[in-house]
Amino acid sequence: MSTRSPDAITAEPRDALVIGAGVIGLSVAVRLLEAGFRVRVCARSLPPALTSCIAAAFWYPYNVFPERRVRDWSRISYAVFTELATDPETGVRRVPTLELLPRALPRPGWSAMIPDFRLAAPEQLPAGYPAGFAFTSFVIETPIYLPWLLRRVRMLGGVIETRTLSSLAEAPPADVILNCAGLESRALVGDAALTPVRGQLVRVENPGIERVTIDEHSGADAITYIVPRARDVVLGGTVERGRVDLEPDPAITERILARCRALVPRLAHARVLESYVGLRPCRDVVRLEQDLGRAAGPPVIHNYGHGGAGVTLSWGCAHETLALVERARLLRTDALQAARRGARRARR
């Protein structure tokens, strides 16, 4: 925690400490640097050894709340990914997407922000699916995108340090702390509301697939998706609440392959490259707020608990984090001025 005395706190705090170098922490770091803050990122692990690098990952506000804020965050990210997709170095690509439905369902609330969102044409639907949606989304190739984000942070002058904090009290001095520690916020700030939700994926060679296909309704602990990338295809997946072992289960791999091959028969002969597992940092609602329960030290803003949609929400949450930092700064300046006025009155 900051060792500065309250008198040493300036009215214009500029030093930000970001805990975490996943997609959430690095997006926040970029936004703060662009806004003129000095930023130090402190993380136990850097890409690629992170949940953020395991994500499939495509833009899709999957099972994450609260709905209205998620819609705003997703919209902002969609706009940023639209821009990033014009630069091949980012690993972000526009992709046609087909969502399969077990029956005609209302359009999701977020559909209004997507210009080409429409009902899928009957000839697009595989056998057994009576309805679907078609729209443009983005594939974010995390093995390219996360290193690109790291480079961007460094290019903007950010400092990245590998270090584990066992509590916020260990944080190096800063004017504001951004907690972007993902699932590890359970231990770091004692948040018992965070639950790991295991996701197993399979990576196969790409036999020429260019469209994302998703069926969210594949069963209680399953979600089926096919996410084409430049050189491979990520096939999903599972949704196993509370299970935390990271060893891929061969029986699950076979079930994922069978479901995906049934949807896209071209996958039948695609060579299997690997299976792997990640833990989604799930919470009833994303925690993006200033911690008002802290009696001392610099303001802390939490930004974690994005479940299976952290990449989708990343830029929107970074945008709101910056707004919260600015607000905390104003509140702090007001409080300091009030304290100084009080001290002057006491001296008179």
Ligand X SMILES: Cc1cc2nc3c(=O)[nH]c(=O)nc-3n(C[C@H](O)[C@H](O)[C@H](O)COP(=O)(O)OP(=O)(O)OC[C@H]3O[C@@H](n4cnc5c(N)ncnc54)[C@H](O)[C@@H]3O)c2cc1C
- Residues within the interface to ligand X (CB under 6 A): 19-25, 42-45, 50-52, 54-58, 60, 164-165, 180-184, 188, 199, 201, 237, 278-281, 304, 306-312
Both structure tokens of 267: 């996958």
Q: Report in angstroms how near the CB of residue 318 gets to ligand X at its nearest.
A: 11
Both structure tokens of 57: 């990952």
Q: Report in angstroms how near the CB of residue 282 gets to ligand X at its nearest.
A: 9
Closest CB to ligand X among residues 253, 329: 253
Q: Report in angstroms how near the CB of residue 254 gets to ligand X at its nearest.
A: 17
Q: Report in angstroms how near the CB of residue 296 gets to ligand X at its nearest.
A: 20
- Secondary structure (DSSP) of 99-155: EEESS--PPPGGGGG-TT-EEPPGGGSPTT--EEEEEEEEEE-HHHHHHHHHHHHHH
Q: Report in angstroms how near the CB of residue 29 gets to ligand X at its nearest.
A: 11
DSSP character at residue 194: -
- Integer Cα distance of 65 and 56 in angstroms: 20
Both structure tokens of 125: 């639907």
Torsion angles phi and psi, residue 183, rounded to 5:
-60, -30
Burial (0-12, 13-18, 19+ Cβ within 10 Å), 106: exposed
Closest CB to ligand X among residues 59, 117: 59
Closest CB to ligand X among residues 168, 329: 168
Number of Cβ within 10 Å of residue 348's Cβ equals 4
- Integer Cα distance of 318 and 67 in angstroms: 17
Q: Report in angstroms how near the CB of residue 246 gets to ligand X at its nearest.
A: 10
Closest CB to ligand X among residues 81, 329: 81
- Integer Cα distance of 44 and 278 in angstroms: 17
Closest CB to ligand X among residues 194, 332: 194
Closest CB to ligand X among residues 165, 270: 165
**Omega before residue 236 within 30° of 0, cis:** no
Closest CB to ligand X among residues 142, 332: 142
Q: Report in angstroms how near the CB of residue 81 gets to ligand X at its nearest.
A: 10
